[in-house]
Structure 1
Amino acid sequence: MKKCWILLGSALLWISAAYAQNEVPPYVPETDQAVLKQLDEWQDWKLGIIMHWGPYSQWGVVESWSICPEDEDWTQRKPYGIPYYDYLKKYEAMGKTFNPVHFDPEKWAKAAKDAGMKYLVFTTKHHDGFCMFDTKQTDYRITAPDGAFSKDPRANIAKGVFDAFRKEGIHAGAYFSKPDWHSEYYWWNYFPPKDRNVNYDLQKYPDRWNQFKQYTYKQIEELMTGYGKLEILWLDGGWVRPLKQQTKESLSWSKMPPQDQDIDMASIATMARSHQPGLIVVDRSVHGPYENYRTPEQQIPEKPLDYPWETCMTMGGSWSYVPGDKYKPVNVLVHNLVDIVAKGGNYLLNVAPGPDGSLDEAAYTTMQGIGEWMRINGRAIYGTRAVAPYKDGKVCFTRQKDGSVYAIYLLDENEALPAQISFKGLQPVKGAHLQLLGSEKKLMWKTSDAGVVVEIPASLRGGGFKHAVAIRISNVEKV
């Protein structure tokens, strides 16, 4: 009993110290020149697609989380009251029946390209541990001999996805979950899981944790060596981190005293970059040297951030496939994109295939709508950086590397172009050329108490512009 109290006291002291820390530690800049070059190019891409997909799509349930004994209110097992291990057995059996016969990554890739998406992040493994690639470390994979899809020549799904998207000129990145709730080295079946964290005492069973570290290392090495050029390693499951990097937020994810879930990111990053030079590593929410950019989830920061970042957000209402999911209007997605880019970020939009490998028709029509807007206004988005001020009222600003600035006016749904667009904060130089993207007409402008006032000719106001319009300003006064 005395030993238990000592251990608990030490844990409480650690928690108190961690709570006193700054909740958002400073961004740690990368020093590898190849990575810095890749990161700068990534910031030019602006719009990407992430795809959550796995056997869970057969039930239309949230990805992985229904087997985790926490957050029961939103990941409730069905039927209600089913014993946990009965549910887990049924859930994991879906790996054998997963048979996406309509898997068509070429169609997905074409739709993403037409939408103006420049990069892909694909879920090679989510927290439940099911691998969408041909790993040799476990039989819990899409290519397992007893799997329904294993005899299909397209069975190595991740490879098919990466190849199809790269063929369309889209940069490829791999999502990989650090925790693995199927692995006996993470959730050892000798103990029941308590929450999302490792379920055994790492100090008491260090060899088991070392086996998990090796398992993780080997799986990531498989991805880095057998799947062509990968430019992003997008690691999820930020509670798997060294004890010294715990924060108030990450401590809240555990019902037990915190453990040192260090998987040796230094070795993983070194290995990965030895195979993929310049690889961007995104150790999500673990603020340190292996978080090359940050990833606010389902939210847009209130103001520009002074480090690389990306908002990851669902195009519909769910990360995983849900029958009849409601997709966000194109107007909302375009406004989000403009807001994010004006603040210096990238926008990573999630699309979830169904159990047969098909995408919802609404996903295609939504991407088509985004693409129609991007084909006209992409010059105001791609390759830009934030400029101060980033916004004035309904006008957002972006800056190209040649010194030109774009004033992007956000149109409400079904709003026609106004006769004038005005903004404050940025001043065109005398004689600056202003042009509305999608038109060759030179726009007249003046200054007034309202700031810069741009005249929109009547001939353009009936031109069918939707969602937002971008005005290119050839040069602005220094601010």
Structure 2
Amino acid sequence: MRQDIEENKQTEQEPYEGLSETIKEKLSWFEDQKIGVIFHWGLYSQAGIVESWQLSEEDEWARKKPWREDLATLRKEYWALNEQFNPTLFCPDEWAEKCKKAGFRYMLFTTKHHDGFSMYDTKESTFKMTSDRCPFHLNEKADVFQAIMKSFQKAGIATGAYYSKADWHCPYYWVPGEHARGRYASYDPLENPQMWQKFEDFVENQLLEICSNYGPVDILWLDAGWVNARNEQLNMPKIIGKLRQHQPTMLVVDRTIGGEFENYVTPERKIPEIAPEKVWESNIPLANNWGYVPNDVYKPFSTILESILKIVSMGGNVILGIGPKPDGTLPKEAEAIMAQLGDFLTTYGEGIYESRAIPELSIDNWYFTKKEQVIYGFSLASQEKPAILNISALKAVCSIAKIEDLKTGVLLEITDDRLSLLSSGQVIGIKIYENEICL
């Protein structure tokens, strides 16, 4: 069982305090987007293991099938993977085109995972894709983050950056010669504030690079929730203040930390039982793992579809995780799910994008959203029996003028306060007009 899932149920239910009008407007924009994609890509793809978690001594769960037999060898050989990582088939325009067809409205990319390997041309470290030790460094797309950002921005997809606040390769976090027992710094920052200040400067400078050199950054998604908890405190007001000089409308997501710099919350691998108080986004990988692992098990599209309908009907966003292969291509299994998602959103996206929840409307086996005075209803289809909608329950919350089939536009007939619908596809969608705009 994975033990990397970060959550803080308390921060999920905390109210906002003192949001600027700029960030309020950006959060409303974010809620409109509804469907996003996050790419986890790095040296762990070359190794084919569960992201970079095997490097952490205490995270034994990640080494149930160890990449190397002893930890010292594992770390040495993992950190040498930069000399092998050579994704010659990487074509960001193709990624962007496929994501556009899939209906993704925004994209996050891993600029750096906990292992410290930068997928962009940082000046703060030589452990990066553009280093001359990496065989890909002479490729015109060696600054992978830059190539990704350009392609997705050109495709009209909003762009953001994932960044791990921890860095297990940085000598200011895991100090050479010190024993790093787990995912945390190898020292107590309260006992060695000078070293911690060096690390904070390192983080600040990397984030300034990301927010200064790559065009619009709509979202900064900060991972490694143990940093900014306990004794590992970064000066976030100072850092974010500098970043927003370059990206004034950027949403900051300091995951699980709460407060001013967790602009929205991110339930991981789950659908919350109760909708968070803040704007929220469930993050769900298409496979078992975020990064590429050979022979990984992918979720069937029916499972993904049900999750999307549940989350959106509760008022949340969904970001789906894809782990590109070490050669730079997307897994065929992921592409197949993306194609199905695109087909669904082409037909039914009107009731997904820009929609909001209707908390007072709950009918078994149906999911509802609302946009202005139009209500959208979705039910997962069965080939054997029709989906039944009790209209009297619907009338309790709205005054109905007419109901249409969302796919065909055909007016639906109500009999004895019941709507009975069959579908040849995986979902049934209806469009309910309220009287206020139809009379």
Give the Cα separation in 1 of the matches to 2:29 and 2:94: 26
User: 1:218 Cα deviation (Å)?
Assistant: 0.4
**Structure 1's 66 and 430: CA in aligned 2 closer, same or farther, altered over 3 A?**
closer
SS in 1 for 2:117: coil
User: 1:438 Cα deviation (Å)?
Assistant: 1.3
The answer as to 2:364 corresponding to 1:405 is no
Alignment match, 1:102: 89
Q: Is the 8 A contact 2:108 2:160 kept in 1?
A: yes
The answer as to 2:419 corresponding to 1:454 is yes
Give the Cα separation in 2 of the matches to 1:304 and 1:194: 36
Q: Which of 215, 220, 225 pairs up with 2:207?
A: 220
Alignment match, 1:182: 169
Q: Is the 8 A contact 1:393 1:423 kept in 2?
A: no
Which moved further from structure 2: 121-130 or 316-325?
316-325
Q: Which of 54, 59, 63 pairs up with 1:71?
A: 59
User: 1:409 Cα deviation (Å)?
Assistant: 1.2
Alignment match, 2:247: 276
SS in 1 for 2:238: helix
Structure 1: segments with no counterpart, 5+ residues = 1-20, 244-259
Q: Which of 399, 412, 424 pairs up with 1:443?
A: 412
Q: Is the 8 A contact 2:107 2:160 kept in 1?
A: yes
Alignment match, 2:285: 314
Q: Is the 8 A contact 1:61 1:321 kept in 2?
A: yes
Give the structure with higher Rg (CA). 1
Which moved further from structure 2: 425-434 or 260-269?
425-434
Alignment match, 1:267: 238
User: 1:203 Cα deviation (Å)?
Assistant: 2.6
**Structure 1's 420 and 390: CA in aligned 2 closer, same or farther, altered over 3 A?**
closer
Q: How does 1:124-203 map to 2 (within 5 A)?
A: 124-203=111-190
Q: Is the 8 A contact 1:405 1:476 kept in 2?
A: no
Percent identity (aligned): 34
SS in 2 for 1:432: strand
User: 1:104 Cα deviation (Å)?
Assistant: 1.1
Give the Cα separation in 2 of the matches to 1:123 and 1:424: 48
Structure 1 segments of 4+ aligned residues over 4 angstroms from their partners: 21-25, 428-431
SS in 2 for 1:173: strand
Q: Is the 8 A contact 1:405 1:474 kept in 2?
A: yes
The answer as to 2:360 corresponding to 1:373 is no
Q: How does 1:228-239 map to 2 (within 5 A)?
A: 228-239=215-226
Aligned CA RMSD, in angstroms, stands at 2.0
TM-score (ref. length: structure 2): 0.93
TM-score (ref. length: structure 1): 0.85
Give the Cα separation in 1 of the matches to 2:335 and 2:67: 33
Deviations 1:84-133 (A, max 9, x none): 22221100000121100000111111111111110001000000000000
Which amino acid counterpart does residue 41 of structure 2 have in structure 1? Answer: W
The answer as to 2:381 corresponding to 1:422 is no
Q: Is the 8 A contact 1:57 1:322 kept in 2?
A: yes
Alignment match, 1:250: none
Instruction: Say how many residue pairs are matched.
Output: 427
Q: Which of 401, 407, 430 pairs up with 1:432?
A: 401
Q: Is the 8 A contact 2:229 2:257 kept in 1?
A: no
Q: Is the 8 A contact 2:12 2:276 kept in 1?
A: no
SS in 2 for 1:230: coil
Deviations 1:401-427 (A, max 9, x none): x22111111224xx2672743366431
User: 1:81 Cα deviation (Å)?
Assistant: 3.6
Q: Is the 8 A contact 1:435 1:441 kept in 2?
A: yes
Give the Cα separation in 2 of the matches to 1:349 and 1:67: 25
User: 1:324 Cα deviation (Å)?
Assistant: 2.1
User: 1:22 Cα deviation (Å)?
Assistant: 6.0
